[in-house]
Amino acid sequence: MNKAEILVIDDEAEILRLLEITLESNDFKVTKAMRAKEGLILAANHPPDLIILDLGLPDESGHVVLQKLRQWYMAPVLILSVQNNETDIVKALDNGASDYLVKPFRTGELLARIRSALRGTAQEQKVQRIEFNSLIIDLVTRTVKKNNEPVKLTSTEYNLLTLLAKNEGKVLTHHFLLQQVWGPGFQDQTQYLRVFIAQLRKKIENDPNHPEMILTESGVGYRFMNNEAE
Amino acid sequence: MAKSILYRATKEQQFTTSIGLVLMVACICYALSAYIGYHVTALLLLVTVSLVAMFFDIAPVLLAAVLSALIWDVFFIPPRFSFAIANPEDALLFALYFVIASVNGALTYKIRQIEKVALKKEEKEHTLKLYNTLLNSLSHELKTPIATIIGSTDNLLTHASKLSEENKKELLSEISKASVRLNRQVENLLNMSRIESGFLELKKDWVDVSELIYDVVSRLKEHTKEHPVGIIIKDNLPLFKLDYGLIETVLHNLIYNAAIYIPRYCVITVRAACVNEKLVIDVEDSGMGFPPQETEKVFDKFYRLKSAQPGGTGLGLSIVRGFVEAHDGTVKLENMPEGGAKFTIEIPAEVSYPASLKNE
């Protein structure tokens, strides 16, 4: 298998070096750019499999770079942000970023995000069944089983769960979830989301107070993870 | 006490009071003019002006001086009811009266200025002391992890061959721990400067408080290994419209603080309830409580308990107060009668009852 190629656009030399070492030692091919302009040219000349983009670039805002990229570039873009600035992160995600990481980050987390982003693009084929450790979702019969016991879900709960599960490992913003499950016009009704997430957790998590599957990304959205203890 | 009240008198009050006092004394003297001569009257008026000078600014004092001199001239010095002064000695007396009254006012004004300078100096010293405390605790809190990182990396870079695998691992884990600590302190400082800047913008959204509490507690499990944490959430707690990030930090700091400072195996209990449309969360511990005279001060910036061990910047609880107050809420600390301390935060917020959404 060919090595996946990753383009890193960040103006900090240390971060570039750190990412280069981490990614290369994990079998990725890395190209680097320190300026927005340089990054856009590199991406156009030789489109990579994934782009890691810092939001705070000296010559142009990362948001603008993302917009320019998204006019033609469809592969995942992972955002790096300096502080816990949820507004910035949500803006980038709603503008087409695939995921985000806040500096300082753990390299393990970085690799996990990259892998799930790459996997997402690899398998957009139609699946009939999604299986996790104790949870099985049958997309044909629209039924859900937990530890082989059927789980009764309302249709909203089912839609929410499948949307999350199909995007396993990826963060989905409140805005996106509300729009997809409830429809446009409900985008800001986060109270619906809170209530239904709580109900879903009660039905599918081993301990709803310590969720292992539906994880909260505070201020941003939710992320479905298959890290249930076996 | 009286002085401080008069200090705060407005300009207008000062003017009316000085005029009133002079007129009053003049009237009394006038009524008693059968018994006291006009020389004594002059002294009495002078005393009045001096009294005014003790408390008021220069303008009302000078006004009192001029007014009393004129009154004395017109109503007391013969010939009465005219500005004219018959006796040259009286003319000299009148001139002297005016000079003494004015000098009185000017001197008092000077003293007042010196007082002001001294007060400013005192304030400056206080700020300087605070600043030094900050520098001390900050440099300790920031330099300790930096020293660890520099020392360990130097060791790994220059003596790698002499180090056992086990020691290398230990150094690396020290570096990792130090960076986490450094990161936490920088975050504290950033939060503090957000509060100080006055630009703390709340991003309010519907929050499932129960989720938030469990989230914070599970992220603190490294620090609460030796302290059982109990969580008691009132049934049917509504959703609250809050800034998730800020309240998360508030709870994090309260629970972290408790975990750091109470003895091993002491219990921490977190409760949440909705009382009169307010979110009430308390964090109680079964530790030793706070010295009663310090319970008010713990929320002050850079304040650390007199008995506190080194480490810590004294920022955690002031951030708690800053973030809670940004929500127009309150935070209080009390010692429990059976020992231990209880922090209670009360935040007024919009609420939404999930039951009303259930039928879908």
Interface touch A216/B245, C-beta < 8 Å: no
Please confirm whether the linkage preceding B145 is cis (ω < 30° from 0): no
Is residue A87 in a domain? Answer: yes
A chain contacts of residue B244, beta-carbon cutoff 8 Å: 218-219
Q: Is A200 inside a domain boundary?
A: yes
Q: What is the CATH number of the domain that holds A28?
A: 3.40.50.2300
Question: In terms of domains, do B228 and B186 share one?
Answer: no
Same domain, A26 and A101: yes
Q: Do both B155 and B218 map to the same domain?
A: no
B189 and B213 assigned to the same domain: no
Task: Decide: B229 and B268 in contact? Cβ < 8 Å.
Answer: yes
Q: Which residues constitute the domain of residue A18?
A: 4-122
Last residue of a domain, one of A67, A95, A122: A122
Report yes or no on A181 lying in a domain.
yes
User: Cα–Cα distance between B95 and B105 in angstroms, integer?
Assistant: 16
Task: Collect all residues of chain A within an 8 Å Cβ-Cβ radius of residue B357.
Answer: 191-192, 195
Q: Answer whether residue A137 is part of any domain.
A: yes
Domain co-membership, A97 together with A188: no
Q: How far is Cα A74 from Cα A88, in angstroms, rounded to an integer?
A: 21
A47 domain-assigned: yes
Strand-by-strand arrangement of the A221-224 sheet: A171-173, A221-224, A214-217
Beta strand B239-243 with B351-352: parallel, antiparallel or unpaired?
antiparallel
Alpha carbon distance, N-terminus to C-terminus of chain A: 31
**pLDDT at residue B233 in the model:** 94
**Whole-complex ipTM:** 0.81
Element (H, E) at A21: helix A13-25
pTM of the model: 0.72
Instruction: Report how far apart, in Å, the C-alpha atoms of B315 and of each of A123, B130, B138 are.
Output: 49, 13, 10
Q: Does residue A229 sit within a domain?
A: no
pLDDT digits (tens, 9 = 90+) for B307-330: 666 556 678 888 999 999 999 999
How far is residue B9's CA from residue B21's CA, in Å, rounded to a whole number?
15
Tokens encoding B23: 């007129």
Tell me, yes or no, whether A146 and A183 share the same domain: yes
Indicate whether A22 and A73 sit together in one domain: yes
Could you tell me if A115 and A28 lie in one domain?
yes
Strands B229-233 and B278-285: unpaired
Q: Could you tell me if A63 and A109 lie in one domain?
A: yes
Distance of CA A206 to the CA centre of its chain: 24
Same domain, yes or no: B49 and B108: yes
Nearest-Cα residue of chain A relative to residue B357:
A192
Q: Looking at residue A206, which CATH number applies to its domain?
A: 1.10.10.10
Q: Are residues A117 and A134 in the same domain?
A: no
In this structure, is residue A28 part of a structural domain?
A: yes
Nearest Cα to A9, choosing from A66, A74, A73? A66
> Residue holding tokens 């998590």?
A205
Cross-chain Cβ contact A218/B210 below 8 Å: no
Residues B4, B88, single domain; the answer is: yes
Residue-range definition of the domain harbouring residue B8: 1-199
- Residue B266 CA to its chain's centroid (Å): 32
Could you tell me if B120 and B35 lie in one domain?
yes
Check residue B8 and give its pLDDT.
58
Q: Tell me, yes or no, whether B289 and B172 share the same domain.
A: no
How many domains is chain B partitioned into structurally? 2
pLDDT in tens, chain A (230 residues): 578 999 999 998 999 999 999 999 999 999 999 999 999 999 999 999 999 999 989 899 999 999 999 999 999 999 998 866 788 899 999 999 999 999 888 888 999 999 988 886 545 557 788 888 889 999 889 999 999 999 999 999 999 999 999 888 899 999 999 999 999 888 888 888 999 999 999 999 999 999 999 999 888 999 998 876 54
pLDDT along chain B (360 residues), means of 10: 51 87 90 85 87 82 86 85 82 85 81 88 82 75 89 90 90 92 87 84 90 92 90 92 92 92 90 94 91 82 66 79 93 90 95 66
User: Using an 8 Å Cβ cutoff, are B209 and B281 in contact?
Assistant: yes
Instruction: Specify whether A10 is located in the same domain as A111.
Output: yes
User: Does residue B223 share a domain with residue B186?
Assistant: no
What's the CATH number where B217 sits? 3.30.565.10
- The verdict on A52 and A12 lying in the same domain is yes
* Rounded (10°) angle between helices A174-181 and A86-94: 40
Test the B interface: residue of A158, A194, A217 with most B CBs within 10 Å: A194
Write out chain A residues lying below 8 Å of B183, CB-based.
104
Same domain, B179 and B233: no
Question: Is residue B255 within 8 Å of residue B216, measured between CB atoms?
Answer: yes
Nearest to A175 by CA among A96, A115, A117, A78: A96
Buried b (16+ CB within 10 A) or exposed e, B154-168: ebeeeeeeeeeeeee
Give the pLDDT of residue A200.
94
Note whether A218 and B219 are within 8 A (CB): no
Q: Both A102 and A148 in a single domain?
A: no
Are B284 and B179 within one domain? no
Q: Which of residues B147, B165, B199 is at a domain's end?
A: B199
Residues in chain B: 360
Query: Which residues are paired to A221 by β-bridges?
Result: A173, A217
How far is B65 from B60, CA to CA, in rounded Å? 9
Ordered strands of the B268-275 beta sheet: B229-233, B268-275, B278-285, B341-348, B330-335
Same domain? For B7 and B124 the reply is yes
Last residue of a domain, one of B177, B199, B221: B199
State residue B200's pLDDT score: 83
Based on the fold, state whether residues A141 and A117 are members of the same structural domain: no
Adjacent-strand bridge partners of B233: B272
The span from the first CA to the last CA of chain B, in angstroms, equals 67
- Examine the domain organization and report whether B234 and B342 are in the same domain: yes
Is residue A230 situated within a structural domain? no
Question: What is the number of domains present in chain A?
Answer: 2
Helix B316-326 / helix B244-261 crossing angle, nearest 10 deg: 150
Q: Is A127 on the interface with B (CB under 8 A)?
A: no
Spell out the residues 6+ positions from residue B13 whose beta carbon is closer than 8 angstroms to its own. Answer: none
The distance of A69 to chain B (nearest Cα, Å) reads: 29
Cβ contact A128:A76 at 8 Å: no
